[in-house]
Chains A and B, each alone.
Chain A
Amino acid sequence: MRELSLNVLDIVQNSITALSLLTTVAVYENTAEQKLRIEVTDTGKGMTEEQVQNVVDPFFTTRTTRSVGLGVPLFKMAAEQTGGSFEISSVLGSGTHLAADFVTSSIDMPPLGDINSTISVLIRMNPHIDFIYTYETGGQSFTLDTRELRTMLSDVPLDNPDVMAWIDEFLTENTNELKNSK
């Protein structure tokens, strides 16, 4: 993966496949300590103890078409090669949580990339489920919660072009605001 935001896009597909109705993506950036933390928490069907242990193995997948699954192993590798760490936990029937810590000063630190595009694509392609996205940098943060949007929109779907344009602008504006106030 060229950038971490693509790993996130890939990882969240697992949550969607696991029928998560509410998936939380959080990015915490601490430039002073040169740390970056990415967390994904879903409310999908969860995994058994055995599946959690196997999921970091590239030759484990729930797919039946072939026996390779690279999503989680690639994300874990990206974190660990910066000197960071990766953890995953899951409760069968209630959901999965994963967190990756990165050391941003490492030579192997991939760029975060266009995370807003990842969030936008996730919402656009899955307008019937909910996402919470939090971005924190320099001690300040903003959150996009599609459940709040849904309340305002009532019967109008999230993938309506005008709504998507609003979401894109919301993400861009808030990200720029945080970056400029640093």
Chain B
Amino acid sequence: MKTLAELQAIRDKARKEINLREENPDAIRVMVGMATCGIAAGARPVLNALVEETGKRNLTNVTVTQTGCIGLCQNEPVVEVLVPGQDKVTYINVDAEKAIRIVNDHIVNGNVVSEYTIGTAIK
């Protein structure tokens, strides 16, 4: 069973590592819509997939956060990717699988997954 004492070891380990996530102006922000509409459409597994994939790849310059309803309820789950110095990219109807591809193609390799963006997908 997990014990609270184990957290001390985690604390000591974490203190040795420099936390790159904090106050990093070059951080890539990934925002998941988590209002009623987003949650109902499946935002939670999308968020989990994003956190898991960025964690697995140790992408310390990426912050995954949640946002409210942006008025695209019919296209939820919506994921917005903000790379500093570039235009914001809005992905619609995202699921866990698409989320992983967004991390791999867009965030890691810099290629926007245009087939999932609002501009393409809605046509």
Contacts and interface: CB of A to CB of B under 8 A. Distances in A.
B48 A153 contact: no
Interface stretch (B39-47, B91-99, B111-119): B39-47
Contact of B10 (A70, A121, A156, A174): A156
Interface residues of B, number: 27
Interface in A136-182: 148-149, 152-156, 160-163, 166, 169-170, 173-174, 177
Chain A at the B interface: mostly helix, strand, loop or mixed?
Answer: helix
A121 B35 CA distance: 13
Contacts of A125: 34, 47, 65-66
Given A13-B35, A71-B36, A156 B15 contact: yes
A121 B47 contact: yes
B14 interface: yes
A14 B103 CA distance: 29
A170 B2 contact: yes
Interface residues of A, number: 35
Contacts of A124: 51
B65 A177 contact: no
Contacts of A161: 55
Given A6-B40, A156-B14, A162-B10, A117 B48 contact: yes
B87 interface: no
Given A117-B48, A161-B55, A169-B2, A156 B11 contact: yes
Interface in B1-22: 1-2, 4-8, 10-11, 13-15, 19
B25 interface: no
Interface of B: 1-2, 4-8, 10-11, 13-15, 19, 34-36, 39-40, 44, 47-48, 51, 55, 65-66, 69, 71
